[in-house]
Chain A
Amino acid sequence: MEILLIPSLFALLALFVPGKVVRVFGLVGGLASVILTCVLVCKFQQNGGQAVTFFELAQNNFGFTSKMGYDGIGLFMIILTNVITFIILLSNFNREVAQNKLFTAMLFLMQAALLGVFTSMDGLLFYIFWEISLIPIFIIALSFGGSDRKRTLTKFFIYTFVGSLAMLASLIAIKSYATSFAIEDLMAVELSSKVAFWIFGGFFLAFAIKIPLFPFHTWQPSTYSTAPMAGTMLLSALMLKMALYGMIRWMVPLAPEALNDFQYPIIVLGIIGVVYAGVIAIKQSDMKRLFAFASISHVGLIAAGIIIFDKENLTAALIQMFNHSLVAVGLFLSVDILEKRMGTRKLEELGGVAKLAPKFGFMFAALALASVSVPFTSGFIGEFLLLKGLYSYHWVVGLIAGTTLVLGAVYTLRAYQLSMYGAPKMASFEDLTWNEWLAYFIIMAIIVIVGVCPQMIIDTVGPSIDQLLESYKISNTIIK
């Protein structure tokens, strides 16, 4: 429970802390969560990877149990959330927004909501946290975002809210067959294939919008480029992972009967996203938009991998989710550093930064390489395994998905080259400050460590994935 209480408490206190110490307060809060996470991981390892339930109320009259807990996958998402939140706080430390009480409070609220999403073991509770998470990000983007934010954010909010409502409809529908909202009860429900189709479809709409998959992505580039740096980081590194996590934990296990109907379309949409967004990214001149499209391209691959739903692909998808979060935070930090110091993020107005700011040049280059999945970075492991899985699903799919490597290299390196090399277009460029450097360092360290020994992650999530697949298989054989 403390895992949720700490961020909530910090969110509340942040509103009353004197203005000068807010940013330090924020950093302390982020650190507290990270330390707590370490403790949880140790405990979890000691107990041999047993699933933990840390909160449960008696089932109320409409089957709401408010059960919360985590297994390996949940713990993995907790680690991701807390580490990323800390990095976001750290990289914002010297920005103006970090002094703002509202901003810090909303960031912690967001963290709490995300942790809630990842630890909910009750369908309605999951939905509640899922929706709560929309509010802080909306307020952050609205209060601190760039121009044209009214229109963009209205679109964003309505888009995701409507998607969530579809999920609510699915939850209400599946609950009408079950005794309570506890995940075991919902999973035990046997559905006719027609009902399962609609329930799966409702979840899919919610998740496809949030990920975003190809035809549902239109809110994403404009929202990413309007939101302030922290907002974009939250959106790309954490919010979108909620949807991918939701696919693994809720969508498929709850309505496995419909998996066969949806598997092919989702893979196709994912692959279209990979190529389509990759090609558009190549032509972008706004760096933030470029990385926004790159994000669509990467997550399309992850979604396609998840929906194959076997052990290898799920593990790979989780590793790739982890990698994508770190890389996205790093890349958006780089964009923001350029934008803050140059006043623009247009590629044609940038250039030659590497000469003036070698530390920044090095870190950005390392991240760019991690983003194109060079061996010894975590991106390599995840992407390689995912492509392998897609290839064994069907070789054409694997082949088309494989273009992500080429496209990724083109748009990332183009962005890097145009912004960092060539003749300097400015007189001076302030190199990394300590907090930016530290943020980069943490990101790179984790990327390389995971890239060299991904077994850590596989060991954490492996048993839980086995369990998940087993229960999925049982419910599937009953149907057949």
Chain B
Amino acid sequence: MDALIVIFLSGLISLFVAFTKKPILVLLTSSIGILAAIGLFIAQWNNPVTLFSYEGLEFTNSAILYSIAVCIFGLFSILVGYNIYSKQPEHTGEYISLMVFSLVGAVCMLAFTDMFMFFLGLEILSIPIYVMAGTKKSDLRSSEASLKYFLMGAFATGVLLFGIAWTYGATGSFKLTEIATAISTASETGQSSILYVGILLILASFLFKVGAAPFHFWSPDVYEGSPNTVTGFMAAVVKLGAFGAFYKIFNVAFPEVHGFWAPAIMVLAVVTMFIGNLSALSQVHFKRLLAYSSITHVGYALLTIITVSSNSEANLWVYLFGYGFSIIALVTIAQLLNDDEDKIDAFKGLAKRSPFLAAVAVLSLLSLAGVPPLIGFFGKYLVFSEAFTQYPILVIVAIANSGIGVYYYLKTIIAIFQKEDVSEEKIEIPSLQVVVLSICALTILVGGLVLSQYKFL
């Protein structure tokens, strides 16, 4: 709770510090705030501190774990975006504090105990991103992304509210635990059909937020149009937040009717994997490729939502944690390549132009493809092996999909090592980027091996 306040205050302070027109101060206040919040989160592991007697937020260990990941990715997004933002000193404060406010929303979304707080968190998370997606003001695609994301997002939020209302009508409560009790008491007499409508509506809006089929159409355009930093932020932070909440609502409030919603997610997971993979095969734009590949990854991650197991939540975390590092590294590299058209061809000859960037890019791509011992493999392995006893066929479909996916990651890797007709120009890497990319590379390389040795939740 106090960590949440610290993040919020650091965002607020950075907003005011921005009046000095010194971008570096904004960067410092926001980073220190987020780092302090991470510290507070770690300190509260196993002994949550409650300020006030407010019950809407509860920082359990799983909420803390997810929040830490969200803070790390938020911090990275701010660090790698700084060079771009600081070119417009009068706007730096807005950009950075919008990101920090969005983080506040993400943390709310991970720690909520009732639907009301969840809705607030979702809106606090989303609204700054609608704005941030349009920050490349000279670029039409950026404005398009912003508008598209806003319209679709607002619509999905409406659907969500509608779903929450129906659920409230069926169970008489906003609190997750009370909803669960109401459902289990009603299970003897038969559930009211109002509840099912509510669950379906909530499910639809979640699928929209995480970008799963058939609600995925916004994501390629939005990913492509947004500035790279924002794309990274969306892929890492928003996914983590949305998935954390997704898992919590469906496995805390609705476990009793698992038999109703699990088959729906099962089918959609398969559809999502195939749509993402098959569309990604022929992409020429790098960020569109990432967008479609992220759709596929959502398909894999959906497996954890339907797997009934005490490990699922931790597995989901490991999966998205690894995914976030890869995606942030890749969008950072794409940003450094500075290709306006954002073609995969821009990666050609990267091995010559900058061995460091090439190494990080290859590691990230291989991690996304699920090559051991990188963190992406362990995430995938944990998700698949946990789901295997319950859904063997589904896991085999998912594994087959990993096979399809390797093609487009490989295409990029081959471009990186290309020697013919490439530019010889070396790439300047600012020191902030070096730090972030090194941390990403290190985590991708050994994170999986280390994380697999512990049991967190």
Which A residues have a C-beta under 8 Å from some C-beta of B? 57, 60-62, 64, 124, 127-128, 131-132, 134-135, 139, 142-143, 150, 153-154, 157-158, 161-162, 165-166, 168-169, 172-173, 175-176
Structural contact, B373 and A128, CB atoms closer than 8 A: yes
Structural contact, B384 and A172, CB atoms closer than 8 A: yes
Structural contact, B453 and A60, CB atoms closer than 8 A: yes
Structural contact, A154 and B414, CB atoms closer than 8 A: yes
Partner-binding segment picked from B137-145, B150-158, B289-297, B398-406 = B398-406
**Complex CA distance for A143 and B355, rounded to whole angstroms:** 13
Partner-binding segment picked from B194-202, B332-340, B387-395 = B387-395
Give the size category of B's interface with A.
20 to 34
Find chain B residues with CB under 8 A from A134 CB. Answer: 371
Report B198 CB to chain A, min CB distance, Å.
35
**Complex CA distance for A139 and B384, rounded to whole angstroms:** 28
**Complex CA distance for A158 and B277, rounded to whole angstroms:** 14
Given known contacts A127-B372, A128-B372, A165-B403, is B414 in contact with A150 (CB within 8 Å)?
yes
B396 at the A/B interface (Cβ < 8 Å)?
yes
Find chain B residues with CB under 8 A from A139 CB. Answer: 417
Given known contacts A154-B410, A157-B410, A176-B388, is B372 in contact with A62 (CB within 8 Å)?
no
| 5 nearest CB pairs, A to B | A128-B372, A61-B455, A162-B403, A172-B385, A142-B417
**Complex CA distance for A132 and B373, rounded to whole angstroms:** 7
- Known interface pairs A60-B453, A154-B411; 5 further A-B residue pairs with C-beta atoms within 8 A, sorted by A's residue number: A61-B311, A61-B455, A154-B407, A173-B388, A175-B385
Find chain A residues with CB under 8 A from B452 CB. Answer: 60, 62, 64
**Complex CA distance for A188 and B35, rounded to whole angstroms:** 49
Given known contacts A127-B372, A132-B372, is B382 in contact with A62 (CB within 8 Å)?
yes
**Complex CA distance for A128 and B366, rounded to whole angstroms:** 13
Structural contact, A135 and B371, CB atoms closer than 8 A: yes
12 CB contacts below 8 A, A to B, read A57-B453, A60-B455, A61-B454, A62-B382, A127-B372, A131-B371, A132-B371, A135-B371, A142-B413, A143-B351, A168-B399, A176-B389
Report B135 CB to chain A, min CB distance, Å.
37
Find chain A residues with CB under 8 A from B411 CB. Answer: 154
**Complex CA distance for A161 and B399, rounded to whole angstroms:** 11
User: Which B residues from 137 to 181 make CB contacts under 8 A with A?
Assistant: none
**Complex CA distance for A127 and B372, rounded to whole angstroms:** 8
Find chain A residues with CB under 8 A from B388 CB. Answer: 172-173, 176
Structural contact, A143 and B406, CB atoms closer than 8 A: no
Find chain B residues with CB under 8 A from A124 CB. Answer: 381
In the complex, the number of residue pairs spanning A and B with C-beta atoms less than 8 Å apart equals 74
Report A239 CB to chain B, min CB distance, Å.
16
Find chain A residues with CB under 8 A from B402 CB. Answer: 165
Structural contact, A173 and B414, CB atoms closer than 8 A: no
User: Which B residues from 393 to 451 make CB contacts under 8 A with A?
Assistant: 395-396, 399-400, 402-403, 406-407, 410-411, 413-414, 417-419
Find chain A residues with CB under 8 A from B369 CB. Answer: 161
Report B39 CB to chain A, min CB distance, Å.
27
Report A441 CB to chain B, min CB distance, Å.
35
**Chain B, Cβ-Cβ closest to A153:** B414
Structural contact, A169 and B407, CB atoms closer than 8 A: no
Structural contact, B453 and A131, CB atoms closer than 8 A: no
**Complex CA distance for A60 and B351, rounded to whole angstroms:** 37
Find chain A residues with CB under 8 A from B395 CB. Answer: 169, 172
User: Which B residues from 341 to 398 make CB contacts under 8 A with A?
Assistant: 351, 366, 369, 371-373, 377, 381-382, 384-385, 388-389, 392, 395-396
**Complex CA distance for A298 and B454, rounded to whole angstroms:** 46
**Complex CA distance for A116 and B372, rounded to whole angstroms:** 13
Structural contact, A131 and B372, CB atoms closer than 8 A: yes
**Complex CA distance for A131 and B376, rounded to whole angstroms:** 13
**Complex CA distance for A161 and B388, rounded to whole angstroms:** 20
**Complex CA distance for A61 and B382, rounded to whole angstroms:** 11
Find chain A residues with CB under 8 A from B406 CB. Answer: 157-158, 161-162
**Complex CA distance for A143 and B349, rounded to whole angstroms:** 11
Find chain B residues with CB under 8 A from A166 CB. Answer: 399
Report B148 CB to chain A, min CB distance, Å.
34
Contact partner of A169 (CB less than 8 A), chosen from B399, B417, B418, B455, is B399
**Chain B, Cβ-Cβ closest to A177:** B389
**Complex CA distance for A172 and B453, rounded to whole angstroms:** 18
Find chain A residues with CB under 8 A from B377 CB. Answer: 128, 131
**Chain A, Cβ-Cβ closest to B417:** A142
Report A58 CB to chain B, min CB distance, Å.
8
Report B265 CB to chain A, min CB distance, Å.
21
Contact partner of A173 (CB less than 8 A), chosen from B392, B403, B410, is B392
**Complex CA distance for A131 and B403, rounded to whole angstroms:** 13
**Chain A, Cβ-Cβ closest to B402:** A165
Report A416 CB to chain B, min CB distance, Å.
35
Find chain B residues with CB under 8 A from A143 CB. Answer: 351, 417, 419
Find chain A residues with CB under 8 A from B396 CB. Answer: 169
**Complex CA distance for A175 and B403, rounded to whole angstroms:** 21
**Complex CA distance for A150 and B410, rounded to whole angstroms:** 10
Find chain A residues with CB under 8 A from B414 CB. Answer: 142, 150, 153-154
Structural contact, B385 and A62, CB atoms closer than 8 A: yes
Report A5 CB to chain B, min CB distance, Å.
15
Contact partner of A165 (CB less than 8 A), chosen from B366, B400, B417, is B400
Find chain A residues with CB under 8 A from B389 CB. Answer: 176
Given known contacts A128-B372, A135-B366, A135-B371, is B384 in contact with A158 (CB within 8 Å)?
no
**Complex CA distance for A135 and B371, rounded to whole angstroms:** 9
Find chain B residues with CB under 8 A from A142 CB. Answer: 413-414, 417
**Complex CA distance for A154 and B404, rounded to whole angstroms:** 12
Find chain B residues with CB under 8 A from A61 CB. Answer: 311, 454-455
Report B322 CB to chain A, min CB distance, Å.
15
**Chain A, Cβ-Cβ closest to B407:** A158
Report A153 CB to chain B, min CB distance, Å.
7
Report B18 CB to chain A, min CB distance, Å.
43
**Complex CA distance for A150 and B412, rounded to whole angstroms:** 11
Report A201 CB to chain B, min CB distance, Å.
12
**Chain A, Cβ-Cβ closest to B419:** A143
Find chain B residues with CB under 8 A from A135 CB. Answer: 366, 371
**Complex CA distance for A166 and B402, rounded to whole angstroms:** 11
**Chain B, Cβ-Cβ closest to A60:** B453
Given known contacts A135-B366, A172-B395, is B453 in contact with A161 (CB within 8 Å)?
no
